[in-house]
Structure 1
């Protein structure tokens, strides 16, 4: 049951089931009943729990409603709420990485070594110097 996982996350965050119940403004027996599958949490308590454990609110609400819902069609609707946000986040991260890799300039496959680059600069300098000398000689 998903709701038990969310409750355990809340217990880990607050330190105990009693502390979690206090943080949610409910009696500890309510948490016990939810964990046992005898009842669900109100939407307000689900939202408080989701905010406390930093998960999507709809996932906690759906998990709580699954505890008591018997209609198979409605259960499928609630079950469809799980993981949608994490799938969307994964797709968003994938798109971000893809766009970063697309815009990062690629280095040439056969890049010149630093000594070749220096030699190229020296060669250009030599050509410039020769043109000055040749140009000066033609002025005479």
Structure 2
């Protein structure tokens, strides 16, 4: 995701661009430059923004660095943050889905509403 979208989401949560700038301890001019792709935010501001918009801070830090980074090797590293995090999210969804699968006994219990314990 682009920093522009993060800034827009942050402004909505904060109320407006001025409130977001104050919250992030940045000037409105800097936020405009970040939104226009001319500058990035420092890591602390990225983390505050991520917390505000409820996004993984690594996404915002990586997106911010991608705005200004010219070295292609470093850009690849920042871009990998998005693919790596997406892979982890997919794995978590798969795990959550598999842990929600019930055993035949649990399924029968849910179906009948009867839980039984047999002691021999």
Please give the TM-score of this superposition, normalised by the length of structure 1: 0.69
State how far apart, in whole Å, the 2-side matches of 1:104 and 1:23 are.
52
Aligned length, in residue pairs: 107
Q: Give the gaps of 5 or more residues in structure 2.
A: 109-120
Q: Which residue of 2 aligns with 1:87?
A: 87
Higher relative contact order (CA 8 A, sep 6+): 2
How far apart are residue 102 of structure 1 and its match? 4.4
Q: Which residue of 1 aligns with 2:103?
A: 103
Larger Rg, first or second structure (1 or 2): 1
SS at match of 1:80: helix
Q: How does 1:1-140 map to 2 (within 5 A)?
A: 2-105=2-105, 106-107=107-108
Q: Runs of at least 4 residues of structure 1 off by over 4 A?
A: none
How far apart are residue 84 of structure 1 and its match? 3.2
Please give the TM-score of this superposition, normalised by the length of structure 2: 0.79
SS at match of 1:82: helix
Q: Give the gaps of 5 or more residues in structure 1.
A: 108-140
